[in-house]
Structure formats: structure tokens, C-alpha cells
Amino acid sequence: MKKKALFLAAVFILLCITNIKAQEEDSISQYKWRHNLAANFYIIPDDFFILPVYQGDLDRFHMEMRYNYEDRQSFSLWFGYNFSGGNNFEYTITPMAGAVMGNTNGLAPGLEITLGFYGFELYAESEYIFDMDAREDNFYYNWTDLSYSPLDWMWFGLSIQRTKLYQTDLEIQRGLLLGGGYKWFGINGYLYNIGWDDPYFILSLSLNF
């Protein structure tokens, strides 16, 4: 199992590097790739693990690669299309299709939504995994953040999460978020299940280029 996890992680890193290098060398295209690399550190009772995510956008084309996201030691690859616009009210809606391989194997439709209005932002990502090994393991996943930015470099808000990755007696994990950023770097802290059983913390770091 460890060898399989290391293999999937190596594939994840190799695909990230290959994709970034290919786009840097492509000077013919009129569009430029936008990249985001993120690492979510789950700090939970008696355990710790990292969830890396790569996102790439070329005009309206969108792709993602994830590890430890839908399940432990599972890799997923996603492709989607961005619908975006707005002025005071800004929106980006990205329907996606993905495949999951590892401890969980399946196909999944997904949707990412970002809505912004005068410092307020709603971000939501949802997916439904059709497990290829057992139908009873089909799973609906959601992560939603509602935040407000009093300053360009700082934001705070509420977060909810329904995940197979780490489950508690609560079906939906509820928490607070606090974040900040400068130019190409961002950091978010999430504290879930305050006042309930099994509280846990997530530290998220991201790079945009």
C-alpha cells in the first residue's frame, strides 16, 4: 500500500512539473496559463496528513490534479470549463468531470463556484463520486466557504465541509476560517467542530503564478 501511495504521489508531482514546463515553453498560444499550487495540512487528533492540489487555467479551460482529496492515498484528475464575468458582482462557475484512482476508484461530476460582491465571497466545490468497486460507497462531497475581506490582504468567515477523508459523528463539519495573502502567496486557517466532539484544524498554503 505504501508503494502504491508513493507511486501515485510521484505521478502527481511529475504531471504538475510536465504541465507547467510545457506551458512555459509554448510561446505560440495567445493565452497564458494561470497556475495554483496548494497544500492543505490536516491536523487532527492522533493523526496528520497532507492534501496537495494543482489547478491550471488556460482562458476558459480548467484542469486539476489532487492527492489525498477524495480519500486517503487516492489520486484524482479533473477537466472543466470556466464561465466567468461580472463587475461589482463577479462570478466564476466551473462544471467538471473527473476520475479517481487509489483506495477509492470511480468517476465523478463536479462543480466549483466563486461569487464575489463588495468584499464578500462565496466559494463552493461539490462532487459526487460513483464508486466503481461498490455502489454503496458512492459519496457526495462538499466544501463551502463564506468570507468577508475588510482589507485586500485579510479575510475571515465560516466554512462547512462534508468529506470522506476525515469523518466524525457530525455528518457536516462546521468551522471558522481566517486567512491572508500578498501577491502570489496565500494562507488560510480552518478550525472545525468547535464545541462539538472531534475538533480539528486545517492549515492551507497556496501559490499563484
**pTM for the model:** 0.84
The predicted pLDDT at position 15 comes to 57
Asked if residue 13 has pLDDT above 80, the reply is no
Confidence of residue 202 (pLDDT cuts 50, 70, 90): very high
For 39-67, the pLDDT digits (tens) are 999 999 889 999 999 999 999 999 999 99
Contact by Cβ (8 Å): 40, 51: yes
Q: Which three cell numbers stand for residue 172?
A: 457536516
The predicted pLDDT at position 31 comes to 78
DSSP assignment of 160-193: EEE-SSS--SSSSEEEEEEEEEETTEEEEEEEE-
Higher pLDDT, residue 31 or 120:
120
DSSP assignment of 27-65: -S-SS-EEEEEEEEEEEETTEEEEEEEEEEEETTEEEEE
The predicted pLDDT at position 169 comes to 85
Q: Specify the pairing of strand 33-44 against strand 47-58.
A: antiparallel
Q: What percent of the chain has pLDDT over 70?
A: 86
Kindly report the average pLDDT of the chain as a whole number: 89
Asked if residue 171 has pLDDT above 60, the reply is yes
Asked if residue 126 has pLDDT above 60, the reply is yes
Confidence of residue 81 (pLDDT cuts 50, 70, 90): very high
The predicted pLDDT at position 166 comes to 85
